[in-house]
Every structure is written in C-alpha cells, then in structure tokens.
Amino acid sequence: MVVWTTGAFLFGFAQDLSGLLTARVMIGLGEAVIGPAGISLLCDYLPPERRARAIAFIYLGATIGASLSFGGGGWLLDIAERGSFSGVPIIGDLSGWRQVCIILASVGIPLFAVLVCFREPPRSFDPKVGGERSFRDLWDRRRLIWPMLLTGLSIALADFAYTTWQTPLLTRTYGLTAGTGGQYLGLTTLIAGTAGAWIGGVLSDRAQARHGTAGRVGVIRYCAFGLLLGAGFLLIPQLWAALCAFAIWQVVANIAYVSCAVTLVELVTDRTRAFSSAVSVSLSIGIGLGFGPTSVAFLNQSIGRGENALSLSILIILVTMALTTFAVSSLLKQRLK
C-alpha cells in the first residue's frame, strides 16, 4: 500500500517521461503484491469452508472499482477542469488530471492506517524461510499445480480477448457509438461481474463442504459449459444476442475466477499460497493479456472483413479456451481422486 500510494502521488507530480514511468512502475508493483498477499491473509484468517466467499469480496472490489473508476474519474476530472480545486493547497496550481491523480492517491493514506491495525494471523510455518523452499514445495506438487495454473490461464486469455474486443464489436458490427458501447460494457461488467463473483464464492464453498477440493474443481468444470453457452450467443447476428453473450460470460467467468483462486491456494502448502497466487496472476496477465487480444486480431485479419468476421474471431477463441478449461480441469479432478 505504501509503494502504490507513493507511486500514485509521484505520478501526479511527475515532470518528465522518466518520472511518469518510474511512478507507473511503483503503482504496478503495489497492485501486483496486494492481490496475492490479500488472498494469503484471508486463508490465514478463515477456515477452508469460508474462503471462497472471502476471496469473492476481493473480486467484487476489483469489479466495482474498475466500473466506478470510469464514471468517478471522469466526474472528478470535469470538476478539476472547471477550477474547483484551484484554492486547494499544493495541488491548486496543477492541471486537472494531476489533481485527480493526487486526490485518488490520498485514499491510500487512511487505507494504510487501517491495515496497520490488522491483527497478525497465526501461521503454521516459519515465514522467515527463503524462496528456495517455496519453489521446491511447488515443484513437489507439480502434478496438481500445472493443471490449475493452465485452467486459470485459459479463462484469463479468453476473458482478456473478449473484454478488449467487446466495444469494437458493438461499434463495428452493430453501429453503436464508442460512448454508448462503453456504457453497455461498464454497466454489464458491474452487474454481471459482481453477481458472478458472489455466486462463485457461495457455490465453491458449498462444493467444498460436500466434496472437498475436488468439489471446487467440479464448479470450474461446469463453468466451462456456461462459457460455451455465452459464446454460442455470438452466432446470433443481433445486438441483444451480443449483449447477452457478454453478460453470461461475465457471470460465469467470475464464478470460475473465484473457484480457481481458492482451489489453487488449497492445492499448495501454507508457505506458498501467496507465491503460487503471484505465479498465477503473472501468467494470466503476461500470457493472457498478451496473446488474448492479439489472437482475435490475427484471426480477424485471416478471416477477412466480412460483417461477422469479428464475432467469429472472438467465438473461436472463446470456444477453444472453454474446451481447454474443461479438459484440464477434468484432468485435475481425476488426479485429486
């Protein structure tokens, strides 16, 4: 939190490109640590039968925050550009976007104060042991870890591909303006994504209570069918079908995200929970964000410039990744028996 807050402040005050890049790196480092550390802490505080719902709150926060950032950030920027903060000390003479960055960075100060008050949870291992032991622990469990990592990566790759190209799909294929398409995207993400995260937490915890970790993997397997259902609506060349496809995808993908996150931390030792979560996030963002949108662009160029070329390109990626999710999660469930 300290690194993120400092980076956000520096971003608002940066005077050149190197300053902006340094600040952005600090923001990224702070964000990258918060997710894995938060999941690991929740597992220390809560018993297994309640962890999925707790992790769902992390995804709820990310979904709601991402949705509100567009409207809230734009609203703050409008106020700043009208000179409403001109009399505020330190930031009054800065440009509007800088004022907004610094105002949002200040949120980290009370959040840090809250984190300091948290009671350190009891742990069943020595946290001072180095990273070599963490690598060895993951390697010893590789028969279970790699299918779980690949499952999460498959969902993330398809999700990044779909989310990135959803607005162009609405504008190019169905003639919506970028603003209207963005509003549809933000509202759907807020409602469907929030619902999916919470449903995922409830379903995963209930499955764990009945069948253990294998039950959580079963939820992921069923999600593969839901992902196929959502992708199937893209075959209908109508605007309502495109919106339904994205809504279904958001619900099911978030159910799967929560189930993948909690399953992964139950497959590893207590020592490696945060480390394994960090590896999963790195793969999902590095490969998923890198290859997901690019693969749609490649397919769209290969298929041609037909009216439904973009829909078909997205559909191919979604179906391929959904089938991969089903196959790999089925392998993992078999190995857990």
- Place 286 in a pLDDT band, splitting at 50, 70 and 90: confident
Residue 228: predicted pLDDT: 94
CB atoms under 10 Å from CB of 48, counted, come to: 16
Instruction: Provide, rounded to the nearest whole percent, the portion of the chain with pLDDT above 90.
Output: 32
Q: What is the number of alpha carbons within 13 Å of residue 106 lying toward its C-beta?
A: 7
pTM, entire model: 0.82
- On the question of pLDDT at 282 being above 60, the answer is yes
Please give the average per-residue pLDDT across 271-277, as a whole number.
83
Distances in Å between the Cα of 2 and the Cα atoms of 26, 33, 61, 106, 128 are 10, 11, 19, 11, 22
- Place 126 in a pLDDT band, splitting at 50, 70 and 90: low
In tens, the pLDDT along 70-120 reads 667 777 878 888 888 888 888 888 888 888 888 888 888 888 888 778 777
What is the C-alpha separation between 146 and 112, in angstroms, rounded? 35
- On the question of pLDDT at 129 being above 60, the answer is no
Residue 85: predicted pLDDT: 82
What is the C-alpha separation between 25 and 4, in angstroms, rounded? 9
Nearest CA to 140 among 269, 307, 299, 317?
A: 269
Q: Which domains does the chain have, with CATH numbers?
A: 2-123+143-336 (1.20.1250.20)
In tens, the pLDDT along 294-329 reads 999 999 888 876 667 888 999 999 999 999 999 999
